[in-house]
């Protein structure tokens, strides 16, 4: 079995804080920079699974870096450098407490709400007569806020502004940036025979400037359909071919696990882990159009530490 990067425990020069998220380890450098290490942990249903997926961290980090670079002229973003295949270093921003979910198609959570009869989703009116995975008349923004426990919660534009979560001036910029990015993502996906169905963007502010933060257009934050078969499948009311982390969720569901209390997490065999790793590599190549080059795992933690220290030493004193 290939080794994997489960977690890291560094202490870099000028480090002032550390945070371990579901799948990334984040180091605060003097309240100015963030060193974000994409580990191979994998989560589903808000639960970190017991075993990691080799190369998953590299895949997500490099997809995000690819699109952050491509979109940098459209919208300012936090990325400064990727000194290692598993690391992005960027500006430390004060994050907004909303996630901007942009939907071009009626899928996932929005479809489940629509199927229940709701025609107002996050304050956005929806037309009658749509079926699952239909294209929407135009992309919509359905923002969410982080819940104190469990899943994110839907919220409307009016509620965000009324409660002061984000000012109207700033929220208008978040909307503008989100729709610009979604248009960009739609065009780049089309070049790869894909449809960008929905995605989420997170933003922060540094020195009064709003920036895109976190990842962008990865299979963990976005849903893709295959463009060449979309119309035929939709006309037959069949399930669309998806390019996302959905295949892991479906495996868990088949093994009677959805992160609910009392449920036992199924054990992933080495064979299944290898298949998921291969699937993530396929996702990278399909989404970016580039050949995946696997990093050296023989001493990955030392490699990461050396590369980060070399960058900080040369660029941050």
For residues 111 and 178, membership in a common domain is answered with: yes
What does the alpha-carbon distance between residue 131 and residue 160 come to, in Å, rounded to a whole number?
Answer: 29
For residues 132 and 219, membership in a common domain is answered with: yes
For residues 109 and 234, membership in a common domain is answered with: yes
- Region of residue 149 (phi > 0: left; psi between -120 and 50: alpha; otherwise: beta): beta
Q: Which of 243, 267, 285 is the last residue of a domain?
A: 243
pLDDT band at 108 (very low <50, low <70, confident <90, very high): confident
pLDDT above 60 for 1 = no
Residue 5 belongs to some domain of the structure: no
Across 64-88, average pLDDT: 97
Return the bridge partners of 19, or none: 26
Q: What is the pLDDT of residues 46-74, one digit of tens each?
A: 899 999 999 999 999 999 999 999 999 99
Per-residue pLDDT at 45? 85
What does the alpha-carbon distance between residue 58 and residue 53 come to, in Å, rounded to a whole number?
Answer: 10
Residue 23 belongs to some domain of the structure: yes
Q: Is 164 helix (H, G, I), strand (E, B) or coil?
A: coil
Using alpha carbons, list the distances in angstroms from residue 121 to 118, 125, 136, 156, 259.
7, 7, 13, 8, 25
Residue 133 belongs to some domain of the structure: yes
Q: Which of 211, 243, 275 is the last residue of a domain?
A: 243
**pTM summary value:** 0.92
Per-residue pLDDT at 242? 83
Place of tokens 């996630």: 99
Across 18-47, average pLDDT: 94
CATH number at residue 205: 3.30.470.20
E strands, 180-305, in order = 194-206, 209-213, 222-226, 242-243
Please report, rounded to a whole number, the percentage of residues in the chain having pLDDT higher than 90. 86
CB 143 within 8 A of CB 122: yes
pLDDT above 70 for 2 = no
Residue 307 belongs to some domain of the structure: yes
For residues 143 and 225, membership in a common domain is answered with: yes
Across 165-177, average pLDDT: 98
For residues 102 and 226, membership in a common domain is answered with: yes
Radius of gyration of the chain from Cα atoms?
20
Q: Which residues lie closer than 8 Å to 102 by C-beta, 6 or more apart? A: 139, 140, 141, 142, 178, 179, 181, 182, 198, 199, 200, 201
Q: Which of 243, 268, 292 is the last residue of a domain?
A: 243
For residues 29 and 89, membership in a common domain is answered with: yes
Q: What is the pLDDT of residues 194-246, one digit of tens each?
A: 999 999 999 999 999 999 999 999 988 999 999 999 999 999 999 998 888 88
Residue 305 belongs to some domain of the structure: yes
Per-residue pLDDT at 6? 95
Give the range of the structural domain holding residue 162, as residue numbers without chain letter. Answer: 95-243
For residues 83 and 108, membership in a common domain is answered with: no
pLDDT band at 150 (very low <50, low <70, confident <90, very high): low
Q: Which residues lie closer than 8 Å to 47 by C-beta, 6 or more apart? A: 259, 265
Across 104-116, average pLDDT: 94
Task: Give 75's Cβ-side CA count (13 Å radius).
Answer: 28
CB 65 within 8 A of CB 79: yes
For residues 44 and 182, membership in a common domain is answered with: no
Residue 218 belongs to some domain of the structure: yes
Residue 2 belongs to some domain of the structure: no
For residues 70 and 131, membership in a common domain is answered with: no
Per-residue pLDDT at 147? 65
For residues 200 and 276, membership in a common domain is answered with: no
Residue 284 belongs to some domain of the structure: yes
Q: What is the pLDDT of residues 233-287, one digit of tens each?
A: 999 999 998 888 888 988 998 999 988 889 999 999 999 999 999 989 999 999 9
What is the count of structural domains for the chain?
2
Alpha helices in 135-239 (DSSP H): 157-162, 168-190, 227-235
For residues 109 and 156, membership in a common domain is answered with: yes
CB 22 within 8 A of CB 39: no
pLDDT above 70 for 37 = yes
Using alpha carbons, list the distances in angstroms from residue 15 to 34, 42, 115, 205, 253.
9, 26, 49, 21, 41
Across 151-173, average pLDDT: 94
CB 181 within 8 A of CB 174: no
Return the bridge partners of 203, or none: 212
For residues 111 and 179, membership in a common domain is answered with: yes
Q: What is the pLDDT of residues 116-148, one digit of tens each?
A: 999 999 999 999 999 999 999 999 999 999 765
* Tokens read off for 29: 């450098």
Per-residue pLDDT at 111? 94
CATH number at residue 30: 3.30.200.20
Averaged pLDDT score across all residues of the chain: 94
């Amino acid at each position: 079995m290939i080794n994997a990067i489960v977690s890291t425990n560094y202490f870099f020069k000028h480090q002032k804080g550390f945070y371990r998220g579901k799948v990334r380890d984040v180091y605060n450098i003097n309240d100015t920079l963030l060193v974000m290490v994409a580990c191979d942990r994998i989560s589903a249903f808000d639960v970190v699974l017991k075993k990691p997926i080799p190369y998953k961290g590299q895949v997500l980090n490099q997809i995000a870096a690819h699109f952050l670079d491509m979109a940098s002229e459209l919208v300012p973003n936090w990325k400064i450098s990727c000194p290692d295949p598993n690391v992005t270093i960027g500006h430390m921003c004060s994050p907004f407490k909303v996630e901007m979910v942009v939907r071009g198609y009626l899928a996932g959570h929005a479809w489940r709400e629509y199927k229940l009869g709701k025609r107002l989703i996050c304050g956005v009116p929806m037309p009658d007569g749509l079926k699952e995975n239909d294209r929407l008349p135009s992309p919509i923004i359905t923002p969410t806020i982080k819940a104190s426990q469990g899943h994110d919660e839907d919220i409307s534009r009016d509620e965000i502004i009324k409660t002061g979560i984000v000012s109207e001036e700033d929220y208008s910029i978040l909307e503008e940036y989100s729709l610009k990015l979604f248009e960009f993502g739609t065009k780049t996906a089309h070049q790869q025979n894909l449809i960008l169905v929905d995605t989420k963007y997170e933003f922060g502010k540094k020195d009064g400037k709003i920036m895109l933060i976190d990842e962008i257009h990865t299979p963990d934050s976005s849903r893709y359909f295959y463009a060449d078969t979309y119309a035929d499948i939709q006309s037959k009311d069949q399930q669309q071919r998806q390019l996302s982390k959905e295949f892991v969720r479906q495996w868990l569901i088949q093994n009677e696990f959805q992160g609910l209390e009392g449920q036992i997490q199924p054990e992933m065999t080495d064979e299944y882990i290898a298949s998921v790793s291969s699937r993530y590599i396929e996702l990278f190549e399909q989404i970016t159009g580039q050949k995946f080059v696997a990093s050296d795992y023989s001493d990955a933690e030392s490699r990461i530490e050396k590369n980060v220290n070399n960058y900080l030493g040369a660029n941050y004193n």
